[in-house]
Structure 1
Amino acid sequence: MANIYEGRINMKPLTRKDVDDIVQWGRTLSDEEGTRLLDHFENHQSQLYNAIYGELSDTIAEDSVDMANLFLDLCFDIVLVYHRILGDAPQEPEDTRWLESKMALLDAEFKSLSPESPMESKLSSTLNDRFVQRCIDSGTPVALLNYLDDQVLHYASFNSARIPAISLTNNLLFVVVRLMDSIYEYQPEPLSH
């Protein structure tokens, strides 16, 4: 599969077969190759790596340790898909607030989608529209999101204690996918001389 660039990095539309093939390819990696891939990701995207293996998985673990472990496995699948389609993760911005600002924006957008949101309806509608448009513009891989959702539902079906963590797990997986979109889209400002 070739990298697709349209002015900025943009993932080509993936089919479910593409996602399944990439995940199966990932299963053939040796432990050393898998570790090398994650090490590269950690070295180039330490903020996101630390969020995945820290706060995000810990939040899920409060509801279900099993689902937190599944989240980590599926995050590896996400990294695999982006690596296979777009190449190695680029170097993260030096500004440590970059990831925080992306997560805050995603949080506001997620709240706009929630029917329980006390947000004023015009603001909620604007954020909701922005959320959908950003997903479309970034080329967020719907087939990947469907794969993740299927995996979460399948795994939860084996133990009713996992069911309460389905929504949180899916939401945080979606956050990781959107953040992956962002890191591959990020273009640092040119240095002035």
Structure 2
Amino acid sequence: MVALNRDRWLDLERPDSGEKASFCYFRGGKGWDVGGYQKACSILRDVKFKSTVRMSPKLLDLLYLIQVWLRINRLPYKILVNSGYRTPQHNSKLEGAAKQSLHIKAMAADIRIPGLSVDNLGKLAQAIGVGGVGFYPTKGFIHVDVGKVRTWRVAESTVLEPEYWIVELLDPSTDAQWLANLAPDWPELEMLA
């Protein structure tokens, strides 16, 4: 994909912690930017339980592709992160959270973009075709993950049946070694074992 052969920048904001960051996590022709990758992991951390882990690079690329499309089309593009990584303890305390949530594997984020409707943002994420997209219109955000391609809509706190399920064609594996080199002191995740 052409957009992935260049510097990859993200503009993220975390309303619950007040953080705002614009950073490059990948340098075209050079590879992963250690400081940028660590910034992404920090802003996507479990804020409530104060836990930072190595986030899936595929998730960062998904967020990047969403922003690239919005920028090209001169639309609002600052991603507000409601939730990124969640500790299993945090996840278990949330009403309606899946027990095997991809948030606990650092492979998911709940996001919104001011000025963009949940439906339009969700349709954009679906069009990219990587992972799951959940629509939460009454809560004002979408869920994106880099698991199997699927979609669902939540209305009035009730999960409806998925609209469709498609077997993911992309390899969800991640290169554990370079992640370990970028953040050697952060906890290992099951997906990286």
**TM above 0.5, one fold?**
no
Answer 1 or 2: higher relative contact order, Cα 8 Å, separation at least 6: 1
Structure showing greater Rg: 1
TM normalised by structure 2 equals: 0.31
Give 1 or 2: higher strand fraction: 2
Give 1 or 2: higher helix fraction: 1
